[in-house]
A and B are shown apart, each in its own frame.
Chain A
């Protein structure tokens, strides 16, 4: 499903060349629930950007669904993000001007899905996260937990191969964190592949498989 072979990523900070990822090797299989743990500055954001096709590696091979990603143009990367990956971010990243259902609808618009089909799938996704009653609300009218659920619905609506959650509970209190984690477990049970990135050991331990990252090096627990 996901395969990283000797992936490297460098950043130039002043005169220093920082290795954000140093020959990272990783294999994630379909229907897995994997957490990636590391303190801030360990390179986990870089790893997530590469897995999420938001950035490309400087060296090494990244295979997503057996297709090498480095050969893709920007346009094709956008298409991969649109169809294969569902993002859940720490700060939700909803578009403030759009209502919950419009936020969920957006990736389908970019896929040129027909209007009636879009409406059906948006309704379905919102129902899955239990927010069908809040469909018309703007993000500012929703609580943090509800906003994150809208974000999860937006990730689900395209039926992606992979759900990539970057510190999904980072901005939430423990009770709502629990709700979101339960939701992720539920999604995993439904057969979704989930990659959870966190610095919180407690959260990380909920995943059956854990991967550590430190100073750009990836190790399995």
Chain B
């Protein structure tokens, strides 16, 4: 306690120098806390976007159908027989020219079945999504996104309008809500997208056949996604002679896990860079402590003459270095808090919130303490090693 007060006093005696020395630690701590917190904030937002990308779902890809192709009839049969496969939708896509009078452009055409909107979390602004009869009758109906409505027709209130897709007229039965804040919207901004019955796409496109290669299983109430995934895996395994390589299932959660991995690597990377600046700050502390020890040689001599042992002197200077580091650390955390508040208020429109990560605060406190000890040890030892007579006679 006595040593702590002494350390505070000697830091206070040289305010300017102490402040400049601490600056290194302050900046290091700020870099560490702010960078890691920013990455975490961004991660949360990206993870949310990934979840929005489709509510939880399993994507099934069939690579080798072994002469037993999966058809729309199979899908509806499975749905009927398995309560855990309450939402199941076939999926195929093609690129087609969409045209209305003088307006035309390339549109991504998805061929699918009724459950698709729920599986993917599509929001219908007007009209309805594709229905079972649409699929059965190979109807020429389409659900278009906002971009397509605006580009082709000129307005979004266009239910019943007809558009030309790949040479046939399709009646618009639904318009999707404009998505602004999801990851999907980010990738598909301004692109024309339309959804037509799977059966209609088979007719429209030369490359799509009735053999389904991709379909989605959505989360059904009362079942976990994992249960649904297991059910479909079992069905497909028995269909494809227990060949695990014939198909592949991947759930949205895996994507989220991958995102998590990427961001944790990112925060370790940025944290590492920040840690380097902290170490540089520590070297600054060591430098100043060396100067301090030389400057106070006489004081050390006096203290030793009146009975301070090596350990006492060592502890005194070590304490000074550690207190300096911890003060810098506290200030750095305080400033980081301010910066994060500021950053949050700047980007408040996007709904991003940057919170101080408690883990990184604890890490930086421990790290600063260690830096104080490690970089304070050598100057403190230099002080402790001084012989009392040499130190007393230093500089007269």
Chain A interface residues (CB < 8 Å from chain B): 49, 52, 54-55, 74-75, 78-79, 81-83, 87, 89, 91, 93-97, 106-107, 109-111, 154, 158
Q: Is the CB of A81 within 8 A of B306?
A: yes
With both beta carbons as reference points, the residue of chain A lying nearest to B391 in the complex is identified as: A54
The distance from the CB of A16 to the nearest CB of chain B, in whole angstroms, is: 20
Query: Which of chain B's residues 276-317 have a Cβ closer than 8 Å to chain A?
Result: 298-299, 301-312
Contact residues in A for B308 (Cβ distance below 8 Å) = 78, 82, 110
Q: Is the CB of A95 within 8 A of B303?
A: yes
Contact residues in A for B301 (Cβ distance below 8 Å) = 93
Q: Is the CB of B389 within 8 A of A55?
A: yes
Q: Is the CB of B309 within 8 A of A74?
A: yes
Q: Is the CB of A154 within 8 A of B388?
A: no
Q: Is the CB of A78 within 8 A of B307?
A: yes
How many angstroms from the CA of A111 to the CA of B307 in the assembled complex? 8
Q: Is the CB of B389 within 8 A of A81?
A: no
How many angstroms from the CA of A176 to the CA of B54 in the assembled complex? 93
Q: Is the CB of A95 within 8 A of B2?
A: no
How many angstroms from the CA of A154 to the CA of B307 in the assembled complex? 12
Q: Is the CB of B9 within 8 A of A154?
A: no
Q: Is the CB of B307 within 8 A of A95?
A: no
Contact A87 B309, CB 8 Å, known A49-B389, A97-B9, A97-B10:
no
Q: Is the CB of A94 within 8 A of B307?
A: no
Q: Is the CB of B309 within 8 A of A106?
A: no
Q: Is the CB of A106 within 8 A of B311?
A: no
Q: Is the CB of A54 within 8 A of B388?
A: yes
Which of B13, B299, B389, B396 is in CB contact (< 8 Å) with A91?
A: B396
Contact residues in A for B388 (Cβ distance below 8 Å) = 54, 81
Describe B's contact surface by its main secondary structure.
Answer: helix
10 contacts between A and B (CB under 8 A): A55-B389, A78-B304, A78-B307, A78-B308, A81-B304, A81-B305, A81-B306, A81-B307, A109-B2, A110-B307
Q: Is the CB of A93 within 8 A of B302?
A: yes
The distance from the CB of A86 to the nearest CB of chain B, in whole angstroms, is: 8
Contact residues in B for A109 (Cβ distance below 8 Å) = 2
Most chain A CB within a 10 A radius of its CB, from B10, B301, B309, B387: B309
Contact residues in A for B302 (Cβ distance below 8 Å) = 93-95
How many angstroms from the CA of A52 to the CA of B306 in the assembled complex? 10
With both beta carbons as reference points, the residue of chain A lying nearest to B298 in the complex is identified as: A93
Most chain B CB within a 10 A radius of its CB, from A83, A107, A109: A109
How many angstroms from the CA of A107 to the CA of B307 in the assembled complex? 6
The distance from the CB of B285 to the nearest CB of chain A, in whole angstroms, is: 20
The distance from the CB of A83 to the nearest CB of chain B, in whole angstroms, is: 7
Whether, in the assembled complex, B164 has its beta carbon less than 8 Å from a beta carbon of chain A, the answer is no
Query: Which of chain B's residues 298-357 have a Cβ closer than 8 Å to chain A?
Result: 298-299, 301-312
Contact residues in B for A110 (Cβ distance below 8 Å) = 303, 306-309, 312
With both beta carbons as reference points, the residue of chain A lying nearest to B396 in the complex is identified as: A91
Q: Is the CB of B309 within 8 A of A54?
A: no
Q: Is the CB of B305 within 8 A of A54?
A: yes
Contact A87 B9, CB 8 Å, known A54-B392, A75-B311, A93-B392:
no
The distance from the CB of A53 to the nearest CB of chain B, in whole angstroms, is: 9
The distance from the CB of B323 to the nearest CB of chain A, in whole angstroms, is: 16
The distance from the CB of B51 to the nearest CB of chain A, in whole angstroms, is: 61
Closest 5 CB pairs of A and B: A82-B307, A78-B309, A110-B307, A107-B306, A93-B302
Q: Is the CB of A87 within 8 A of B310?
A: no
The distance from the CB of B103 to the nearest CB of chain A, in whole angstroms, is: 84
Q: Is the CB of A97 within 8 A of B13?
A: yes
The distance from the CB of A92 to the nearest CB of chain B, in whole angstroms, is: 10
Q: Is the CB of A93 within 8 A of B305?
A: yes
Q: Is the CB of B304 within 8 A of A95?
A: no
Most chain B CB within a 10 A radius of its CB, from A78, A94, A97: A78
Contact residues in A for B387 (Cβ distance below 8 Å) = 55
With both beta carbons as reference points, the residue of chain B lying nearest to A48 in the complex is identified as: B389
